[in-house]
Chain A
Amino acid sequence: SAVISQKPSRDICQRGTSLTIQCQVDSQVTMMFWYRQQPGQSLTLIATANQGSEATYESGFVIDKFPISRPNLTFSTLTVSNMSPEDSSIYLCSVEDHRTVRLAGGEGEQFFGPGTRLTVL
């Protein structure tokens, strides 16, 4: 299994500022995923980050608002730019269980970080 840590665990930010969230994995993974969970809601995929290439964004999410870095196989950052109160959410990073997925014909569980709880005033 993969152990994932996120920094910060929570933050309170002012409107118009930006926050960078870090995600660290204890093993090398090809794909990392960033999700947003708005209050009382389910998880929505923001983007998929492959090391060495541009992140792939889901409909409704753009790189200017949520730039992502993926400098190596164990680390990624998500920046929430020019924040507004609507950005108040929990942001979670996730990875596939690469070995299980590879051995099981491409199917396996996802591991999630503990999340970053962001409040924008």
Chain B
Amino acid sequence: SQQGEEDPQALSIQEGENATMNCSYKTSINNLQWYRQNSGRGLVHLILIRSNEREKHSGRLRVTLDTSKKSSSLLITASRAADTASYFCATVLKHSGGYQKVTFGTGTKLQVIP
């Protein structure tokens, strides 16, 4: 299995601080994606970084990818209470059937205290 391991498992910060979550995985990938899940419900896609990219930004999000170390990080800057959620990295391999096979990491539970 190439399920990603994320750390920390849980993170509690004050509003306005930055939050950093890390993801490590085991095998080669086509891309890596980060998702957010509120209150155990459906997931929302945050950002996708391809295997030939090293860094990507989207608003307050910054994602890095180091394929040599098989690791990625998600940085949320200037956190808000609304960022409180679980965050999952997901490694993606293209399946021989033409679709993407997505494998989720263990997740980081982020709490932002107002």
Q: Interface size for chain B: under 10, 10 to 19, 20 to 34, or 35 or more residues?
A: 20 to 34
Would you call B105 and A42 a contact (CB within 8 A)? Answer: yes
Q: How many A-B residue pairs have CB under 8 A?
A: 71
Do residues A106 and B43 form an inter-chain contact, with CB atoms below 8 A?
Answer: no
A92 and B41 CA atoms in complex are apart in Å by 9
Does A82 lie at the interface of the complex (its beta carbon under 8 Å from any beta carbon of B)?
no
Question: B-facing mask of A24-45, CB < 8 A → 1, else 0?
Answer: 0000001101010100011111
Most buried by A among B94, B99, B103, B104: B99
Question: Which single member of B31, B50, B102 contacts A45 (CB below 8 Å)?
Answer: B102
Partner of A43, one of B88, B97, B100, B101: B88
Q: Which residue of B lies closest to A107 (CB)?
A: B31
A92 to B40, CA, bound (A): 11
B-chain residues with CB within 8 Å of residue A31 when the two chains form the complex: 97, 99
Question: What are 29 contact pairs spanning A and B, CB under 8 A?
Answer: A4-B42, A30-B99, A31-B97, A33-B102, A35-B104, A37-B40, A42-B3, A42-B88, A42-B105, A43-B88, A45-B101, A48-B101, A50-B97, A90-B40, A94-B102, A96-B99, A96-B100, A101-B99, A106-B94, A106-B98, A106-B100, A107-B30, A107-B100, A110-B102, A112-B35, A114-B41, A115-B40, A115-B42, A117-B40
Which A residues fall within an 8 A CB radius of B?
4, 30-31, 33, 35, 37, 41-45, 48, 50, 56, 90, 92, 94, 96, 101, 106-115, 117
